[in-house]
Amino acid sequence: MAGGRDEGCGGKRVISVTALICVLAVAGVVVTMPGTASAAPKPPRTLEDVHKEVEGLYRQAEAATDAYNAADEAQRRQEKSITEIAKSAAEAQERMNRLKNQAGSLARAQYRDGTLPPQARLLLSGSPESFFDGVALTHKGQAATRGLITEVAAVQRTLDGYAKAAGERWKTLDGERRKKEGAKKQVEAKLAAAKELESKLEEKEKERLRQLEEERARQSQQKWLASDAVKGAALKGSGAATAEGRRAVDFAAAQIGKNYVWGAEGPDTYDCSGLTLKAWAAAGRVIPRTSQDQWRQLPKIGLKDMRPGDLIIYFADASHVGVYVGDGAIVHAPRPGRQVTMAGAGSMPVLGVVRPG
């Protein structure tokens, strides 16, 4: 075997790379040659994997919906502010026009009365008293003129302020519109991805996926009811509600069966915070538009103290909300493809409880 020739896997002397591979193969060792791939086949995706991915996409879409709703509300405020500024500016402009007319009248009067020097007017006047009365009136006219000029200057400053404020509001409005459009694209992208993933499932898999969701919700509810945060609490029924809370619950319950549509505030479709917004509007209370602002701005209540009408906020980013109806249940608008429904209050990760009134 001179010159380093191979004699195959059964040869006496094996000194080449090829022969070495043969030996390792016989020993059951997997060898990967440089530049070749040996990745194990990817395991098939289970329904559990699909469930996690779909739910994750819907959660991301709901968070983006909250951002959209916040930008939409901010846009409305800016538009209202610009309208109010325009109205105030128009009123100030009318006042300026009146002042300019007054200034013109005064100027014309002074021009007419100032053609003769004081000595001549004294000689021509019927009496010294009437002359001095005229002088006094002239001084009053001059004072009025000075006052008019000061007022004109003040109104002009006001108009300039309105113009500046309007310019700033327009910039802010443009920014909110951009945020809203960006959030809209993100919502639509996440929903499209979730729908595409679901569309690849067979009907029996879709039904199994729904059952899996329901089973997860039941397990979460049972775990929540047994938790220290809730255990021992009197999960109050409808009798514990205030009059306002009862109206909010009644409104929410009356919407059961209506479709979830992101960004919707009724009357035919709702997203989660659109439902809570309108429920408390029916109770006579104005609350923030988004679930995140509802969490930030409304008074927080302990789980053991909650009563019907309170709002339960879900997930760490406060991206979902439902109306507590008593007996451990909520009414909420779950997500696209679902309808407003009643569910266990602990069927999702609870962040906390807030009380609109």
Which positions are annotated as active-site residues?
272, 320, 332
The residues with which 341 forms a beta bridge, in sequence order, are 332
CA dist 237 and 243 (Å) reads 14
The label of the residue with tokens 């209050």 reads 345
Cα torsion 319, 271, 182, 164 to 10°: value is: -100
Distance, CA of 18 to CA of 28 (rounded, Å): 16
Can you spell out the DSSP letters for 122-155?
Answer: HHHSS-HHHHHHHHHHHHHHHHHHHHHHHHHHHH
For 282, half-sphere exposure in the C-beta direction (CA atoms, 13 angstrom radius) is 21
Q: Report d(CA 77, CA 84) in Å as an integer.
A: 10
Cα–Cα nearest to 291, from 267, 262, 266: 262
User: Cα separation of 277 and 352, whole Å?
Assistant: 17
Contact status, residue 65 vs residue 183, Cβ threshold 8 Å: yes
Please list the alpha-helical segments (H only) found in the chain. 17-26, 47-113, 118-124, 128-199, 203-225, 243-254, 272-282, 291-297
Strand 311-314 with 320-326, pairing:
antiparallel
Instruction: Give the C-alpha separation, 162 to 44, whole Å.
Output: 64
- Distance, in Å, from the CA atom of 11 to the CA atom of 8, rounded to the nearest integer, reads 5
Quickly list DSSP for 61-112.
HHHHHHHHHHHHHHHHHHHHHHHHHHHHHHHHHHHHHHHHHHHHHHHHHHHH
